[in-house]
Structure 1
């Protein structure tokens, strides 16, 4: 997916959530999204209900429709919201890292930490493939695009081998997804730092420019 296509899809997804005009409205919408994450994470899309989401959020049923038109709309908005939460959680550590291998290590470590606190992420994103395929595709396409931009910029700086780009980005993203499943959702028996260290070593040997 080209960046322009991703941006257009992102705008469409954002429209599933009506923009609050007040701080109180933003807090209410946040409460609904957080409750929806628990509801969909525990029960799945089809068994989840709007009434249960509003009970979890401790808001009136009418408040839900102030911000979302339907269960489908809140689900689409939630997929986008969780994708943004992952991005916002890992971005500061990536920016602060010294070198691209360290940045990818920081990104994986931040992702593992996020997943351990938000295990519902996997069920929600997996269900999106069938409930709303465009949101599912957008989640991964925009994530891969961010990684691609980081890798190509680092290759241009001479930190990585020439030609490192989109294919490597999808490979890194796929690896991180399954590492998150194994070491974030299924079991947390390995320290996240150790997992990130081992992958950083593998990346350095595989795509690091030994001449730099």
Structure 2
């Protein structure tokens, strides 16, 4: 018998910390609500989206919503955290077996481009978060940059990268990745992900100065 696909379970911060599901069934219901919210907010935007629309898409009762979230604002905030975590969880395995820090960044970008193609709604949701919930918006990018900075510092400690790389370089790489995801993950899904990631990775490794 074929293995069933793994259902990504939301982290605690994706819901109300006081309403964390204690059972597998509860975690699956929360997952359904978050997935439905991603579609609802992605298609309709925050202001036109509704709790009833979310529960209808999730196939759950209205009462189930309030088991995990107090309001539309609360599930939106949880959704931003959830999507940030899902990007992290999608990218991390792709970097396993990398031959070094530069290779790891290329693998990370390729994985992100694949995620962006599969979850194009992430761009609208995160962009709206800047105005709906600025703290979530800032946390999404800050935690992503922290992970990149940690990888760069590890690469410096290992002797592959130059010393002193940190926040500025991490935000620069993240900015490049974000807009490459928009261009080649949302606007155009025909280009080869590996080829795009390889060219961007060459930019990280060699810069743009003629040698």
TM superposition score normalised by structure 1: 0.89
State the match for 1:53 in structure 2: 54
Q: CA deviation at 1:203?
A: 1.2
Q: Partners of 2:104 and 2:69 in 1: how far apart? A: 37
State the match for 2:5 in structure 1: none
Q: Partners of 1:176 and 1:198 in 2: how far apart? A: 12
State the match for 1:104 in structure 2: 105
| Higher-helix-fraction structure | 1
| Local SS of the residue matching 1:78 | helix
State the match for 1:72 in structure 2: 73
Q: How does 1:117-196 map to 2 (within 5 A)?
A: 117-196=118-197
Q: CA deviation at 1:12?
A: 6.9
State the match for 1:91 in structure 2: 92
Provide the aligned C-alpha RMSD in A.
1.7
Assess if the C-alpha contact under 8 Å between 1:86 and 1:114 holds in 2.
yes
* Residue-by-residue CA offset, 1:29-84 (whole Å, 9 max, x unaligned): 10000000000000000000000100000000011001110000000000000000
| Local SS of the residue matching 1:95 | coil
Return closer, same or farther for 1:168/1:48 CA change in 2, 3 Å cut-off: same
Q: Partners of 2:81 and 2:167 in 1: how far apart? A: 22
| Local SS of the residue matching 2:19 | coil
How many residues get paired?
198
Assess if the C-alpha contact under 8 Å between 1:112 and 1:183 holds in 2.
yes
TM superposition score normalised by structure 2: 0.90
Q: Partners of 1:120 and 1:11 in 2: how far apart? A: 22
